[in-house]
């Protein structure tokens, strides 16, 4: 996907501070994005349904519903990428947002350059084409169709968020090989995220909970302690 196509995307900004919303709008519009605004949680939900944004910038502190409650509602109806806006030093808020399904966070105060870079990085990894690969039958239980963006477990279609999908795609494409944490971060999130390994741990857990029969004893996504992760080499397990 080209940068121009990314910049044409629609961004919903949710923050109760008018000055902050104006700051974000000016910088995103300067980079070519289309921007809509919401100042309360329920207003954000209404805007999500009416304007169908490609990405949501969501502040944690809102006057009616807080950002976490809004994120929960969003995740019930949409897989749209969400970047949380958190206060400086509030690590608990950042982790909680990621656990609830946020794709990234930005710590206030932030520069225009960081804002645009984070938005573009999330859109790029969310919407990047994965090419043509056809149906992959890992075993009788797990089937992957990256062309159709479909994951089947025990005959049932499993919904993955965009980042989960890209992580699984990268693991499967390198099945049998150990992928270091920093390489996963660079490939799935972007090079600028290489020093944030908690992203990988969280999303590996998300994937295991969705595709593994027993997430505590995974058979597909294996941990190589101190190094990274490995997807089983299912191709070697099948007779030729």
Average pLDDT rounded to a whole number, residues 165-172: 89
Alpha helices (H) along 135-180: 162-173
Instruction: Kindly tell me if the per-residue pLDDT of 177 is higher than 80.
Output: yes
First to last CA, the chain: 37
Name the DSSP class of 143: E
Highest mean pLDDT among 52-56, 144-148, 183-187: 52-56
94 & 158 share domain: no
pLDDT, residue 97, reads 85
Give the domain range for residue 219: 135-237
Domain boundary among 63, 94, 127: 127
155 & 66 share domain: no
Phi, psi (5° rounding) for residue 192? -70, -10
CB 230 within 8 A of CB 200: no
More confident residue, 38 or 52: 38
180 & 70 share domain: no
CATH number at residue 222: 1.10.10.10
Instruction: Kindly tell me if the per-residue pLDDT of 89 is higher than 80.
Output: no
Instruction: Kindly tell me if the per-residue pLDDT of 210 is higher than 50.
Output: yes
pTM of the model: 0.59
More confident residue, 190 or 82: 82
pLDDT, residue 181, reads 87
Q: C-alpha distances in angstroms, 187 versus 67, 120, 194, 226? A: 28, 15, 9, 19
Domain boundary among 107, 127, 147: 127
Of 158, 160, 133, nearest in space to 147 by CA:
133
Label residue 127 exposed, middle or buried (CB < 10 Å: 0-12, 13-18, 19+): middle
pLDDT band at 133 (very low <50, low <70, confident <90, very high): low
pLDDT, residue 32, reads 92
Domain boundary among 93, 127, 161: 127
User: Percent of the chain having pLDDT more than 90?
Assistant: 46
Cα 152 from chain centroid (whole Å): 20
């Amino acid at each position: 996907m080209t940068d121009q196509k990314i910049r044409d995307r629609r961004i919903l900004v949710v923050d109760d501070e008018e000055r902050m919303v104006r700051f974000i709008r000016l910088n995103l519009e300067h980079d070519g994005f289309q921007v809509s605004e919401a100042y309360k949680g329920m207003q954000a939900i209404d805007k999500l349904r009416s304007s169908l944004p490609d990405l949501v910038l969501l502040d944690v502190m809102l006057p009616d519903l807080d950002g976490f409650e809004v994120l929960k509602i969003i995740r019930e109806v949409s897989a749209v990428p969400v970047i949380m806006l958190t206060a400086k030093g509030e690590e608990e808020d950042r982790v909680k947002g990621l656990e609830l399904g946020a794709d990234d966070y930005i710590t206030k105060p932030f520069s225009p350059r960081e804002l645009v870079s984070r938005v573009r990085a999330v859109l790029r990894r969310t919407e990047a084409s994965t090419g043509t690969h056809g149906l992959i039958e890992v075993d009788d239980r797990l089937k992957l169709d990256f062309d159709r963006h479909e994951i089947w477990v025990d005959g049932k279609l499993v919904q993955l968020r965009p980042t989960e999908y890209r992580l699984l795609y990268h693991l499967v494409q390198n099945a049998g090989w150990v992928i270091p944490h920093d390489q996963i971060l660079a490939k799935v999130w972007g090079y600028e995220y290489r020093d944030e390994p908690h992203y990988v741990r969280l999303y590996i857990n998300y994937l295991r909970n969705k595709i593994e029969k027993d997430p505590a004893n995974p058979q597909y996504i294996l941990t190589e302690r101190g190094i990274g992760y490995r997807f089983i080499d299912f191709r070697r397990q099948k007779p030729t």
